[in-house]
């Protein structure tokens, strides 16, 4: 319990996207501090504090996760991977966490036309979580990304 209390207390001191004086508001993120805490408690154990992930635990979020928004099926994939779809956060907090993570870990690939995840969308998507097929779906989406970025496209 002390470790959790220390992490939560430290969240206020850590710089995060959308927090602090002069920070730009993030669409779909009403409470960046809470989103950061939720990331620390629910995601960073596998994806690491800096979003780099690892081959042994979880794919990277840093400089990668928002790229999924640009391919057909990528947006739903983000919300349906097991660690997202099956977390115990309510739909509102999960939508906020996903929006925060997109801005935090991959701002360079965020489209100005990005529509934030909503609680209603999360409820619909997480009702059909990916399970064993998640690896195949991810590989197919990554191949689409590569194909769309190939010269001449």
Report how many domains make up the chain: 1
Say what the pLDDT of residue 9 is.
40
10 or 40, which is more confident: 40
Identify the DSSP state of 87.
S
Return the percentage of the chain with pLDDT > 90, whole number.
Answer: 76
CATH number at residue 128: 1.10.760.10
Angle value at C-alpha 138, between 122 and 95, nearest 5 degrees: 20
Domain that holds residue 121: 2-149
| pLDDT band, residue 3 (cuts 50/70/90) | very low
Instruction: Give 41-78 pLDDT, tens digit per residue.
Output: 999 999 999 999 987 778 999 999 999 999 999 999 99
Rounded CA gap, 42 and 46, in Å?
9
Reading the block at residue 59, the tokens are 């794919």
pTM for the structure as a whole = 0.83
Q: Is 21 helix (H, G, I), strand (E, B) or coil?
A: coil
Average pLDDT for 105-119: 96
Reading the block at residue 99, the tokens are 């929006």
Rounded CA gap, 57 and 24, in Å?
32
Rounded CA gap, 85 and 130, in Å?
8
């Amino acid at each position: 319990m002390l470790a959790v209390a220390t992490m939560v207390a430290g969240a206020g001191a850590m710089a995060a996207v959308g927090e602090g004086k002069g920070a730009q508001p993030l669409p779909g993120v009403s409470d960046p501090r809470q989103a950061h805490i939720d990331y620390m408690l629910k995601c960073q154990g596998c994806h690491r504090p800096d979003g780099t992930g690892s081959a042994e635990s979880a794919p990277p979020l840093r400089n990668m996760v928002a790229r999924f928004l640009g391919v057909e099926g990528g947006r739903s994939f983000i919300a349906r991977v097991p660690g997202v779809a099956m977390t115990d956060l309510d739909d509102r907090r999960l939508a906020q966490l996903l929006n925060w993570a997109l801005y935090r870990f991959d701002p360079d690939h965020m489209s100005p036309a990005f529509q934030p995840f909503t609680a209603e969308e999360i409820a619909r998507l997480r009702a059909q979580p990916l399970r064993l097929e998640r690896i195949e779906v991810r590989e197919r989406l990554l191949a689409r990304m590569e194909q769309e970025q190939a010269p001449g496209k």
